[in-house]
Homo-oligomer: A and B are copies of this chain.
């Protein structure tokens, strides 16, 4: 493997509990070289899944958080001025294409069109990346793979992917884990006992039922882990839930009262 990819290898197994046959499906599509799209709500484990798969498949993983101010040159590279004049610097996508890494575009719907269009020739039979500014046609390394993710829940029509982009991908749907599984995850990662972890999971489930009714997203598994860890370190449950679970997700007074009610339903009123 090219030494420039070394820092992108994941050394320790990222903790991931599969909810179905997503590991086998992804592996089959991966073997065929099919570009993949991971769909699902924020914080449900898409990023953890791709990190787990990269570790499992022993491939370096280059992650890019897409946003509307990211230019195509942020992906493919640019000329920089040096003592020798302008010198080309490969961008992270080009690095992945040239040397054979997984390139993971997180929240791809936030990207501008020129960024999305750049990946087209990489996702059909051509498997190549034209560096127009350099006049170079990079043929993708056999180990190069492209994976994108997005949250189908809250992006606007204006930011929907173009059909001609969508058709180039296989897709897997993700959601929050089932309660028993999520409880196991929270207990494992935060250090609280399973009974308390289950109480936190129940609060999260109630919050997720408010999605689309004022709340953009419910409380994620990650937030439960944070709250659990604070409790494990001796912070009171009400303070920990407020700090790590409810106060961050909304500024609406009515919703905050409702969320506090979910906490009290599990842990009784605040002393």
Measuring CB to CB, which residues of chain A are less than 8 angstroms from any residue of chain B? 4, 7-8, 14, 21, 25, 28-29, 31-32, 34, 37, 39, 42-43, 47, 63-72, 74, 78-86, 89-92, 95, 106-107, 110, 112-114, 116-118, 120-121, 124-126, 130, 132-133, 135, 137, 151-152, 154, 163-164, 166-173, 216-217, 219-220, 222-223, 226, 229-230, 233-235, 239, 242-244, 247-249, 251
Contact = CB atoms under 8 A, between A and B. Distances in A.
B89 A135 contact: yes
Contacts of A125: 14
A74 B118 CA distance: 13
Given A80-B86, A124-B222, A113 B233 contact: no
A55 to B, nearest CB: 13
A163 B69 CA distance: 18
A124 B85 contact: no
Contacts of A78: 133
Main secondary structure, interface of A, reads mixed
Contact of A84 (B83, B116, B170, B220): B83
Contacts of A222: 124, 167-168
A21 B68 contact: no
Contacts of A64: 130, 132
Contact of A173 (B71, B164, B220, B247): B247
A34 to B, nearest CB: 6
B166 A25 contact: no
B79 A135 contact: no
A164 B43 contact: yes
Given A90-B135, A92-B132, A167 B42 contact: yes
Contacts of A126: 63
B249 A74 contact: no
Nearest to A168: B222
B47 A235 contact: no
Given A235-B25, A249-B163, A251-B39, A229 B71 contact: no
Contacts of A226: 32, 34, 170
A164 B248 contact: no
Contact of A65 (B21, B82, B121, B239): B121
A166 B89 CA distance: 33
A121 B112 CA distance: 20
Contacts of A151: 164
